[in-house]
Amino acid sequence: MKFKTFIWFVAPSLFLMLLFIAAPLTSVFLGSFQITQPVVQQVEVETCSAGFLAQTCTTDLQTVPVIDDETGDIVTTTEWVGFLSYARVLEPQRAWEAIKALDYNALMQINFWSALRFTLMFTLVTLPFVIGVGLAIALAVNSAAKALRGPIIFVSLLPFIITPVIGSLSIYWLFVGDGILTRGIEAWLDRDIAMFAQGWTIELLMLFYRVWHVAPFAFVIFYAGLQTVNQDTLESAIIDGASRWDRLRYVVIPHLMPLIVFIALIHLMDAYRVFDEIVGFRAEAHVTSLQYLTFDFLRPDDAGNRAFSRASASSMLTMLGIVVLLIPLLRRTWRDHKGNSH
């Protein structure tokens, strides 16, 4: 293919990537080193008490934002502050003191470190369950009778089709208050329970929901991969007396390893940005995630101001965390690619 033809093919994609990915990322990166604040001024405000004969007036100095005469907008100023926003998010001195004192509770009082703890736990705990459950469903469907495969596939894909917020709300209403499952558990245990009164039970339900929601995606990928397993190799293993577990361990899983890495990559990128579960389970009072922390920074305060700089710093730290988690898998993929090319 000629270079000019190649450029015409890739130019639209490159343009859209620059417009919708590179430009916003650059803006967020630069915004994490800047602080934009309203320009304020002090004005004298006279306050008079009610009444006519005994009326008294006092004059106070109040700080108010400067309003642009032409547009009516608040005048703002932007200054470069270096890593100040990162320091405000990480609170390194306070965190280091908690670490030196081995005070886990004090460290968890810092919003970023509490969000990082939950995000890492949520991502790394759900990963093996997603892969394991997805592979188990794929193996079961692959071994089922052909007449049953269609209905089983349809039912298995339903959790993945449901919108994440709707799915999390469904699980929430099953357990909150007098939900159906809560009442069933209470009748079984003969005691009152409150699934959403403490953090660990909420986290447990969120982990269950993520596996329930994402495992069908892994199932589809694994089921497609099982169709490409070399049947001659499997038959040879059976003739040699290999058990079902041995065939799975030494034939099927090595064949599916590139797909396992692919699913792990997708899951790590998606689960590390956990947000829908926090909203669906209304769990922000007990647990929070890095993505929700960024959202919280963008909420206006009582004066209507938003912490854009800290939100940008939190976003960049979230991206950095995703990159760190993906490095081992990317290195393995690169080694496998180099090995195949030789």
- pLDDT tens series, the chain, 342 aa: 677 888 888 888 889 999 988 999 999 999 999 888 777 777 777 777 766 666 677 777 777 777 877 777 777 788 888 899 999 999 999 999 999 999 999 999 999 999 999 999 999 999 999 999 999 999 999 888 888 888 888 888 888 888 888 888 888 888 877 778 888 887 887 877 777 777 888 888 899 999 999 999 999 999 999 998 888 888 888 888 888 888 888 888 999 999 999 999 999 999 998 998 888 888 888 888 999 999 999 888 776 678 889 999 999 999 999 999 999 888 888 887 777 665
3-class SS of residue 53: coil
CA separation for the pair 327, 329 (Å, rounded)? 6
As separate numbers, helices (DSSP H) first and strands (DSSP E) second, the chain gives 16, 4
pTM of the entire structure? 0.82
Walk me through the domains of the chain, giving residue ranges and CATH numbers: 104-341 (1.10.3720.10)
Residue pair 318/290 in contact (Cβ under 8 Å)? The answer is yes
Give residue 291's Cα distance to chain centre: 6
CA separation for the pair 83, 35 (Å, rounded)? 11
Tell me the Cα Rg of the chain. Answer: 28
